[in-house]
Amino acid sequence: MEPAAHAHFPWRLLGELLVDEQLLTEDELEQALLEQSRSGRLLGQIIVSNGYLSAFSLARVLSEQHGVELRHANEQEQHTPTVELSLADPPELGAMEPDKETPWRPLGKLLVEQGFLTESQLDEALAEQRERHARLGEILVWRGLLTGPDLARALAEQHGVELDTQAEELQTVIKLATAEEPTYKVFEVHFEPGFQRRTEVYTSPNFLEAADFAFEYVEEHQPDALEIHRTHGAAQETVWNYSASRAAAVGADRKPLVETFGFDPTLWGKKR
């Protein structure tokens, strides 16, 4: 994937999730999004390095998007868990180099690269995910291929931060997706004379997985346009869109700057 490809990730949607969880304020999100657009760094990396929330809090919310809750032993349960396992190694704060640009990697590829899974195990989990419209993390933990803390560590790394560990018990609780939760669908947009035609190419109850799929789809198929729609009951909205022509225009605008100045002046003064 091109180095700047992660600029097209639906960062605002991720940030809004953190605001909904009361982990970020609206002002902190706007400041972080502004810095992300200027520097190209991952939003999670910016949020943690700016001290807005801990790496564990970020990873915990991301894990919950995958249907896997991480709880300290002294936390009271508010719901009856579907599956409960006692696991060690809770992650604690340990940020990566704050100014190091980290490339975006889809979760499945990252898990294989880090040795958590084999390619065949990932392929089997993805096939089950497509068949059941379940969440990847939920499937991997349910099948015993991944622990809850390992999922959290991988998600933290995906978003540009690291998690340290120490010996303290955590509970891992799997929460199966319900019909009341939003569904995220990825559509390829075809431009035809006089109208636009949309073809559904992916669906998931987890917007992070929809975004991962969209990233890989752009890389492999180079569509003219792609959209992610969120459906919740009777309501439907477009929460993210990608346009090849707009991406090309942005790239063309930046290229003359480098040719003129020998560097990108929009990044002047930023540590690389």
Tens of pLDDT, residues 180-198: 889 999 999 999 999 999 9
- Do 62 and 159 meet the contact criterion of CB atoms below 8 Å apart? yes
pLDDT at 31: 95
pLDDT at 113: 94
pLDDT at 181: 87
Residue 197 lies in a domain: no
pLDDT at 250: 53
Residue 241 lies in a domain: no
Residue 210 lies in a domain: no
pLDDT at 248: 64
- Residues near 120 by beta carbon (within 8 Å), at least 6 away in sequence: none
Residue 258 lies in a domain: no
Residue 169 lies in a domain: yes
Domain limits for position 44: 5-174
Other C-beta atoms closer than 10 Å to the C-beta of 22 total 7
Residue 105 lies in a domain: yes
Residue 268 lies in a domain: no
The whole model's pTM is what? 0.76
pLDDT at 179: 79
Residue 206 lies in a domain: no
Number of domains in the chain: 1
Per-residue pLDDT of the chain (272 residues; tens, 9 = 90+): 344 445 567 888 899 999 999 999 999 999 999 998 888 889 999 999 999 999 989 999 999 999 999 887 665 544 433 333 333 333 333 344 545 556 788 999 999 999 999 999 999 999 998 888 889 999 999 999 999 999 999 999 999 998 865 434 678 899 888 878 899 999 999 999 999 999 999 999 999 999 999 988 998 999 999 999 999 988 999 999 999 887 665 555 544 545 444 444 444 444 44
- Please say whether the dihedral angle defined by the alpha carbons of residues 256, 260, 262 and 267, taken in this order, is positive or negative: negative
Cα distances from 8 to residues 12, 84, 218, 239, in angstroms, run: 11, 36, 10, 13
SS3 string, 128-177, reads HHHHHCCCHHHHHHHCCCCCHHHHHHHHHHHCCCEEEECCCCEEEEECCC
pLDDT at 91: 35
pLDDT at 163: 81
pLDDT at 73: 63
